[in-house]
Amino acid sequence: MKEGELESVPALETHDLSVAYHKKPVLYGVDLTIPKGQLVGIVGPNGAGKSTLIKAVMGLLPLRSGWVEVFGQPFKKTKTRVGYVPQRESVDWDFPVNVMDVVMMGRYGKLGLFRRPKKKDRDIARECLDKVKMLPFANRQISNLSGGQQQRVFLARALAQESDLYLMDEPFAGVDAATEAAIIELLKELKERGKTILVVHHDLTTAREYFDSMVLLNMRVVAFGPTEQVFTVEQLQKTYGGRLTLLSDVAGETERQLSGE
Amino acid sequence: MNDFIPAFDWTRVVIDPWAAQFESSFWIVLMGFLATAACGLIGNYLILRRMALVGDAISHSVLPGLAVAFLFSGSLQIGAMFAGAIVAGVLTTLLIELIHTKSRVKTDAAIGITFCSLFAIGVILINVFAGKIHLDTECVLYGEISYVPLESSVKWLGGAIELGPRPVVTMALVFLAVIALIVVFYKELLVCSFDPTLAASLGFSPKVFHYGLMVVLSVVVVSAFESVGAILVIAMLILPGATAQLLSPRLPVVMVLSVLAAALSSLLGYHLGVWMRCSIAGAMVVAAAALFLLVWIFSPEQGLLQRWRRARRVDDGGESRIEENNGYSS
């Protein structure tokens, strides 16, 4: 938390946010107000604009309409308070860098232009690697990592950004069960320290268990609110449309758990 | 030996260049080294960013830039030369992006359209204004590094210190500038190349660094141009970096190794050129290619031999790399 900042200022607020690729709308009219200290899942079918939403929040895509505020200010002013975990496949893992080099990139934003990482930055990077249990791999070339290890490195890099709001694009995709458990534990710890975390997630079976609140997204916000209110068969049907045939079992299961526990 | 390959005469090929013709050998090898090293350093970023073709494009489209610079200034002063090259380089980058984003044409095709068209315009300009543009197309394409020692010398402090032939001095300054820029912007270039999305979210515009890289590339290409020519410059951009990247998984080491590869290519290439009585620049590229081949086969980590040995070890049921990699999964 930043000193002098009102508790009531939301971590993230978007209003009427619309994005289009080549004139084809991908997101429209997204209104979200995400209070501080929440672990929020963004769920929706492929092509629903989940990654687009995250990129639009960080100002990486031109907006067709609407605005974004992070901690009550435009992203440009608060970018050092935002940490980002991109999709694992978005980078070339044959790049000639080691684990430590990648985690150090998380410090670059706070350093700014010209300044070089100091010992303090190195210590922070080490701590973050230790938190994801990857410290013994600090000098390992990144191409020699398993999928789960790569994801942990990305997570350590985001931790090294020392942010208040974290935006994570599918951090659970293609990782082993142990890594998945380690990541969710870490996210809960971050939340307890007052951080806000937005996670793009695709696995409906674990979604209900992981997140306090949820954004159901399919080009527009279908539903947004506390998980128990939002994560219902009806809302999921609306989000996934006809594609929910297979998923309805999952949703049915969830419904039963919600009502019958 | 037959009629085509001159006999390998130790004295003529190895001793004489450094005894009888020391001065010219020195400048030629130095020029070859500086050009290859500067190209190699920038080339490392082109390879890592999967933009090897863009290097190809810019080395060709610099030609109309030079022609226009010549038309405006009447002579090829270094300032006009660099200005022409930079404008051409940025224009090429812009056009490629414009074609690619405003049509269905994919990037590789957009690159092909852009650089060939610009190069052709350059050829026409040189033909039409032959009276005004004293650019030898042959020299632009193939370069003539053997003439380097004959160029007028750059004098300093009113002639008290003689630095060396003009192209070598220019190339040395460009090489030093490239090193300085890489040192100063190391972390920005690294994050923009590895993860542009993160770079943008941190406030380092990948676009700015992309164009910056293209500007530096244009300057490097145009200063290496005269000696090695437009076609061989492409090899210089890619070969040292590709060789170095096979040897080390760490970018700073890769940078040093590509400079080393440049030095070896230049020296070995020079002697190869003397031996075969052929284009020295061509021989330098052949030497660089031979180095790549050697490293590709014998590299201790990624070499073909090592790969083959490792594959055999796995077949024998011995310890495998795959096992080692997945050892940590919890």
How far is it, in rounded angstroms, from Cα A1 to Cα A8?
A: 12
> Which residues, other chains included, contact B206 with Cβ-Cβ below 8 Å and sequence gap of 6+?
B192, B196, B199, B200
Domains located in chain B, CATH noted: 14-153+163-312 (1.10.3470.10)
Domains of chain A by residue range: 12-86+165-260
> Residue B319's pLDDT is what?
46
- DSSP category for residue A113: S
> Residue A18's pLDDT is what?
92
Selection from B175, B172, B214, B207 nearest residue B188 by Cα = B207
Using a 10 angstrom Cβ sphere, with 0-12 exposed, 13-18 middle and 19 or more buried, the burial of residue B303 is middle
CB B52 within 8 A of CB B107: no
> Residue A261's pLDDT is what?
45
Per-residue confidence at A236, pLDDT binned at 50, 70, 90? confident
Are the Cβ atoms of A108 and B326 closer than 8 angstroms? no
Query: Within 10 A of B224 (CB to CB), how many other CB atoms are there?
Result: 32
> Residue A259's pLDDT is what?
58
For chain A, give me the number of helices (H) and strands (E)? Answer: 10, 9
Most B CBs within 10 Å: which of A113, A133, A142, A150, as the mutation test of the B interface?
Answer: A113
pTM of the predicted model as reported, rounded to 2 decimal places: 0.87
CB contacts, 8 Å: B190 with chain A:
97, 101, 105
Q: Which residue has the higher pLDDT, B153 or A111?
A: A111
Are the Cβ atoms of B187 and A82 closer than 8 angstroms? no
By C-alpha distance, the chain A residue nearest B185 is A114
CB contacts, 8 Å: A91 with chain B:
194-195
How far is it, in rounded angstroms, from Cα A247 to Cα A236?
A: 9
- From residue B208, give the alpha-carbon distance in Å to each of B93, B215, B282: 12, 11, 35
Report whether pLDDT(A147) > 60.
yes
The verdict on B329 touching A (C-beta cutoff 8 Å) is yes
- Choices 3.40.50.620, 3.40.109.10, 3.40.50.300, 3.40.718.10: CATH for A12-86+165-260: 3.40.50.300
The verdict on A108 touching B (C-beta cutoff 8 Å) is yes
> Residue B324's pLDDT is what?
44
Dump pLDDT digits (tens) for A14-23: 999 999 887 7
> Residue A22's pLDDT is what?
76
Helix (H, G, I), strand (E, B) or coil at A37: coil
| Count of CB pairs separated by less than 8 Å, A with B | 84
> Residue A168's pLDDT is what?
94
Going residue by residue through chain B, which has 330 residues, state the pLDDT in tens, using 9 for 90 and above: 566 778 888 888 888 888 888 888 999 999 999 999 999 999 999 999 988 888 889 988 888 888 888 888 876 677 888 888 899 999 999 999 899 888 888 888 999 999 999 999 988 988 888 777 777 777 777 777 888 888 888 877 777 778 888 889 989 999 999 999 999 999 999 999 999 999 999 989 999 999 999 999 999 998 887 777 877 888 999 999 999 999 999 999 999 999 999 999 999 999 999 998 888 888 999 999 999 999 999 988 888 998 888 888 877 654 444 444 443 433
Q: What is the mean pLDDT of chain A?
A: 87
> Residue B145's pLDDT is what?
84
The verdict on A98 touching B (C-beta cutoff 8 Å) is yes
Are the Cβ atoms of A82 and B198 closer than 8 angstroms? no
Using a 10 angstrom Cβ sphere, with 0-12 exposed, 13-18 middle and 19 or more buried, the burial of residue B137 is middle
> Residue A254's pLDDT is what?
60
Are the Cβ atoms of B188 and A108 closer than 8 angstroms? yes
Counting every residue written for chain A, the total comes to 261
Dump pLDDT digits (tens) for A56-105: 999 888 899 999 999 999 998 888 899 999 999 899 999 999 999 999 99
Is the alpha carbon torsion for B250, A129, A104, B45 positive or negative? positive
Nearest to A146 among B202, B251, B325 (CB): B325
Using a 10 angstrom Cβ sphere, with 0-12 exposed, 13-18 middle and 19 or more buried, the burial of residue B208 is exposed
